[in-house]
Structures are given as structure tokens and as C-alpha cells.
Amino acid sequence: MTWAGVRIADVADEEFRRRLVVADNHAEVFAGTAREIVAGRLEPDDDRIRTALRTAVAEDVVEALPGGLDGVIAAGGSDLSGGQRQRLQLARAVYAAPDVLLAIDPTSAVDATTEAAMIDRLREARRDMTTVVTASSPLVLDRADEVVLLVDGHAASVGTHADLLRRDSAYRELVTRTQNDGEQVDDE
């Protein structure tokens, strides 16, 4: 496998981690200040941190902490709701400014209003960069430039959300089931 003509095996691990970031809901939130959590292994820059927080619709999480960016968050984010943790994890990924961001179901623990804002802001902030979002949320899918339906690990259909709803019964069934089942929301 290659990336920009270079075999991935030949790319130094540190370089690879800098260029590709996975924002996973199961990633650990370590204890520390909001500033440290968002900056991750990078040097903290408060303006960039605030921009990343805004993109992830997480400004309110930090504003509610005594001390704001200096406010301490417990190990595992145990003092946060699932949606708050999810938004801080996305802010950390956005702050890293990778060439490629893979966001795994980044809005599953938030309400529809927050979800819409997160996706719209992420789309704007990463306009000229590659962002791949895995999701089954119709709201997220409707805002994607391109939707790929994966079946058994292979691309079964590609198009816009509206196009796939019209022409692909498997896609339509998946999305309709998601809408009808309703999503568990543990934030707001």
C-alpha cells in the first residue's frame, strides 16, 4: 500500500501518526487540563485549541470547567457525559490538523442539533483536507460529499445520500432502520 507514491511501510511511525489521525469514540481521555487533553502530544496553542473546540462544538464543555482551559478533567473523562467526551476527542483530532482524519461515528452520543453543528463545522474546518467519517446517521450522510456503502468490507455503492436513497434498496433499508430505531443520545 502506498501514500503519495511512498510505501506506507517506508514511512516513519511518527510521520505516519502526524499525517493520519483516527478520532475514535473508544480512545482514552487521560486526566489533565482541557488544554493538555485537546493539544495531545502537540505543543499547546490556545487560539488553535479554541478553534478546535469550536469546530467540535465543545466550547461549552470547557467553559463549564472551573478554570476553563486550565480546568482539570478526570481520567477517562469520567466527570463528562459521553457526548462531552466525544466532542473533546474530536477537538483533539482537529487540533492535530492531520492530512487525513478518520472520524469513527463522531456524533453518536450527541443530540441532532449538536450533531448538525459538529458536521457543518468539521466540513468547513477541513475543507481542503481529506476527512473520512464513518456513520449511519442520515443527517451526517446528507452532508457528505460522497457516501460509500460498505458491504462485507467492499464498496457496494457510491454516490450522494439522496442518490443512494433513490437507487439502492440496501442503503435505503440501512438508513431507514437507523431513523426508525432512533439513536441513543446521552448528551444534552
Q: Give pLDDT, residue 133.
A: 96
Task: Give the CATH number of the domain where residue 63 resides.
Answer: 3.40.50.300
- Note the pLDDT tens digit of each residue in 135-183: 989 999 999 999 999 999 999 999 999 999 999 999 999 888 766 655 4
Least confident span in 12-21, 65-74, 87-96: 12-21
Residue 96 belongs to some domain of the structure: yes
Average pLDDT, rounded, for the chain: 91
Host domain of residue 21? 7-135
Residue 150 belongs to some domain of the structure: no
- Note the pLDDT tens digit of each residue in 44-63: 999 999 999 999 999 999 99
Residue 19 belongs to some domain of the structure: yes
pTM of the entire predicted model: 0.87
Residue 169 belongs to some domain of the structure: no
Counting the structural domains of the chain, the total is 1
Q: Give pLDDT, residue 178.
A: 62
CA end-to-end distance (rounded Å), the chain = 42
